[in-house]
Structure 1
Amino acid sequence: MPNPLRSISHPAVDFLVTFLRGRVQRARSGELDRGASAVEWVIISAVVVAIVGVVAAIINMALSDGANKVKDCIDGADEKGTC
């Protein structure tokens, strides 16, 4: 029995059917693990960026505190005294 949908075929429909068959075949073959690996890398990268941000904030606070102490020492020093 001939396929009734074949007589009203359109290039866009043919492309869609072929594309979907390829996607189903990929899903069955297990090739979709690459997407999971990409997600894992994104998560790992986000964690590393967060850690670097926290470390940078801590270093910035330490340097700012040290700079303020030096500034206060300079402002309060007289000709004969030291901090």
Structure 2
Amino acid sequence: MKTRDFNTGIPALDFLVTFLRGRVERARSGELDRGASAVEWVIISAVVVAIVGVVAAIINEALKGGATKVGDCIKGASADKTC
């Protein structure tokens, strides 16, 4: 069975065989690597978002601690002492 002379006489089967051969050729050529690249970018983006979230949580906790200290200092402030 030659690839160019393949003809069963059944149009649907001929189309299916031609379609599948095209898909196999495309897979062998490496053209489908674009999808892998997109997945890599999604994973890298997810890692970056996670890192940003962790850093934001750390900064938020530090700011809350500083705000609490300042609030306590203001409550106990008097003219003769400093915080």
TM range (shorter): 0.7 to 0.9
How far 1:77 sits from its partner (Å)? 1.0
SS across alignment from 1:78: coil
How far 1:38 sits from its partner (Å)? 0.9
What are structure 2's unaligned runs of at least 5 residues?
1-6
- Following TM superposition, the consecutive aligned residue runs of length 4 or more in structure 1 with deviations greater than 6 angstroms are none
In structure 2, what is the Cα distance between the partners aligned to 1:62 and 1:20?
59
Identity rate of aligned residues, in percent? 74
Matched, 1:26 2:26: yes
Q: Give the root-mean-square deviation of aligned CA atoms.
A: 2.2
The number of residues matched between the two structures is 75
How far 1:21 sits from its partner (Å)? 4.4
Higher helix share: 1
Q: What's the counterpart of residue 68 of structure 2?
A: 68
TM alignment of 1:1-83, pairs within 5 A: 3-6=8-11, 17=16, 20-83=20-83
TM-score normalised over the length of structure 2: 0.73
How far 1:26 sits from its partner (Å)? 1.3
How far 1:20 sits from its partner (Å)? 4.4
